[in-house]
Amino acid sequence: MSDYPHLLAPLQLGDMALANRVLMAPMTRSRIEHDDLPGPLQVEYYSQRAGAGAIISEGVHPSRNGQGYCRTPGIYSQQQVAAWSEVTDAVHAKGGKIICQIMHCGRVGHADNKFADAEFVAPSAVKCNAEIYTEQGMLPMPTPRALRSDELPGIIAEHATAASNAIAAGFDGVELHCTSGYLMAQFLSTGSNQRDDHYGGSAENRCRMVVETLSAMVAAVGAGRVGLRICPGNPFNDLHDDNPQETFAVLLGQVDKLALAYLHVIRMDSVGFDNIALARAHFSGPIIANDSFKAAEAEQRIAAGELAAVSFGRSFVANPDLVERLDSGAALSRVDFKTLYTPGPAGYTDYPAAG
């Protein structure tokens, strides 16, 4: 008998029927070779990990302006839809499920990582005081252009189209990235949102962009295929909010009405409060938790009814057959941190399965 009967049990997540509750977390891997297109390397990488209850893809940008990092994929063109179809077909052929994480980086990025005609746009013209990796090394980020009020419906529409494109490409669902200092988190946070229209100021106004974007994605593909990823209090990429507990209580109170498939919460003890408990207090649907979980803790939290599932990152990098190893009790391989973001198959598709 398995040591993890609850972790390995099936789960209905919105419209998605999952074989187990071991999810693969979204992880930037910087392996895209040209034109924001996934290729054979991504087909192999994701299909190797199809034993997950669901794979959540690396962040995929909904437009050229949405790209921030080098060698990352998009979902805004029909060529990209066709390329992603090769990935989703390979995952489905092995019985897996895969969700597309939609990630607009906003002010986070560098011109060296983007097409020449792409802009840096954000809620306000507030620079991200941090450096980002480029092919020339770590470089400071530029000051973005503040989005005009009349441009915001277009940003919302980009996300709805990206969601539709993802489903057309064969993804089983979509996840809106709303943390780590990217565009949606920039709207939420007092430090990066200094607008004086009805998308800035009060917590209700700062939450408006996220709620309207999710609503458009729900209208495009159905609530049962849409999830949201958050990490209240996360300071990554120079993000600051004066009162994240208030902001996310307001946000989740609105989001809960949408009946999303799930809420994906990164726990972070360093923020000074329990952000999973905050999520549970304001969101009534299934909650997936992430960050540094061991299988035993995931089993306990799921068995107690606190979580619906847990997503694993580094464990899935080094163990493409992670679910099979948990089921059999096989030892886990260790990740090589030096090859997390390097081009090519090394540290990407060359981790062997057990036995």
Per-residue pLDDT of 244-257, as tens digits, reads 999 999 999 999 99
Q: How many CB atoms lie within 10 A of CB 265?
A: 27
Specify the pLDDT at position 31.
Answer: 98
Specify the pLDDT at position 339.
Answer: 98
Question: In this predicted structure, which of 33-37, 52-56, 79-83 has the lowest mean pLDDT?
Answer: 33-37
What is the dihedral sign for C-alpha 240, 27, 199, 271? negative
Cα(315)–Cα(173) distance, integer angstroms: 23
Specify the pLDDT at position 355.
Answer: 75
What are the structural domains of the chain? 11-339 (3.20.20.70)
Taking the complete model, does pTM exceed 0.95, yes or no? yes
Active site residues: 182
What is the dihedral sign for C-alpha 179, 246, 23, 96? negative
User: Tokens 């886990």 belong to which residue?
Assistant: 332
Residue 350 pLDDT exceeds 90: yes
Amino acid type, 286? P
- β-pairing verdict for 22-24 and 309-312: parallel
Q: How many CB atoms lie within 10 A of CB 134?
A: 15
Residues 260 and 221: beta-carbon distance below 8 Å: no
pLDDT in tens, 19-41: 999 999 999 999 999 899 999 99
Whole-angstrom Cα Rg for the chain: 19
What is the dihedral sign for C-alpha 195, 122, 222, 20? negative
Residues 214 and 176: beta-carbon distance below 8 Å: yes
pLDDT in tens, 142-184: 999 999 999 999 999 999 999 999 999 999 999 999 999 999 9
Residues 31 and 45: beta-carbon distance below 8 Å: yes
Q: Name the average pLDDT for the chain.
A: 98
